[in-house]
Amino acid sequence: MKIGDKVLVSPDLTHKSDWENGEVIKVEQNSFVGVVVSAKTDDGDIFFGYQDMFKPA
């Protein structure tokens, strides 16, 4: 994943019933947990978490 990619954000992060559309705004390599992705949803909320909490849209 890279900045600008369109993704779906897991309901585990959003606490909504379905996957939310979003856009990757930051990707970082964390030495403790691996790749951490931050994404901004269509309604302006920002979510971050493990790479497996996001999937390509």
Give the domain extent around 41: 6-56
In this prediction, residue 34 carries a pLDDT of 95
Query: Is 13 domain-assigned?
Result: yes
| HSE toward the beta carbon, residue 37, CA cutoff 13 A | 24
Query: Is 11 domain-assigned?
Result: yes
CATH at residue 44: 2.30.30
- Candidates 44, 36, 45, 47; CA nearest to 10 is 47
Query: Is 1 domain-assigned?
Result: no
Tens digits of residue pLDDT in 11-55: 999 999 999 999 999 999 999 999 999 999 999 999 999 999 999
**Residue 15 tokens, joined:** 């606490």
Q: What share of the chain is helix, strand, coil (3-state, %, to 5)?
A: 10, 55, 35
The answer to whether the pTM exceeds 0.75 is yes
